[in-house]
Chain A
Amino acid sequence: MDWDFIVEAMPALLAGLRYTVLATVMGYALALVLGLVVAMVRKGAPPTVAKTVFWIMEFIRCTPLLVQLFFVFYVLPSAGIALTPLTAGVIALGVHYAAYTAEVYRSGLDGVPKGQWEAARALSLPGVRTWTSVILPQAIRRVIPALGNYLIAMFKDTPLLFAITVPELLFEANRLGGENFKYLETISAVGVLFIVVSVLSAIGIRFLERRYAAV
Chain B
Amino acid sequence: MPQSEQNIQDTIRPDASPDVPGPGDAVQQPLIRFEKVVKQYGDNVVLRELDFTVQPGQRVTLIGPSGSGKTTILRLLMTLEQIDGGVIWVNGDPLSHMYKGDHLVPANEKYQRAVRKKIGMVFQQFNLFPNMTVRRNITEAPIHSLGVPRGEADERAAELLDMVGLKERIDEHPTRLSGGQQQRVAIARALAMRPEILLLDEVTSALDPELVAGVLDVLREIARTTDITMLAVTHEMGFARDVSHRVLMFDHGRILEDGPPDQIFGEPREERTKSFLHAVLESG
Contacts and interface: CB of A to CB of B under 8 A. Distances in A.
A123 B193 contact: yes
Interface residues on B, range: 20 to 34
Main secondary structure of the interface of A (DSSP, over half): helix
Nearest to B80: A118
A79 interface: no
Contacts of A125: 140-141, 144-145
Q: What 10 pairs across the A-B complex have the smallest Cβ distances?
A: A123-B141, A119-B127, A115-B127, A122-B121, A124-B145, A137-B131, A129-B144, A124-B117, A124-B116, A124-B113
Interface of B: 78-80, 109, 113, 116-117, 119-121, 123, 125, 127-132, 140-141, 144-145, 189-190, 193
Interface residues of A, number: 18
Interface string A124-154: 1111010001100110010000000000000
Interface of A: 113, 115-116, 118-119, 121-127, 129, 133-134, 137-138, 141
B191 to A, nearest CB: 11
11 contacts: A116-B129, A118-B127, A119-B129, A122-B116, A123-B190, A124-B113, A124-B193, A125-B145, A127-B109, A134-B129, A138-B131
Contact of A122 (B120, B128, B130): B120
Nearest to A130: B144
Contacts of B79: 121
Nearest to A129: B144
Nearest to A128: B144
A215 to B, nearest CB: 9
Contacts of A119: 123, 127-129
Given A124-B113, A125-B141, A134 B193 contact: no
Contacts of A124: 113, 116-117, 141, 145, 193
Contacts of A123: 120, 140-141, 145, 189-190, 193
Contact of B127 (A116, A127, A129, A133): A116
B157 to A, nearest CB: 13
Contacts of B80: 118, 121-122
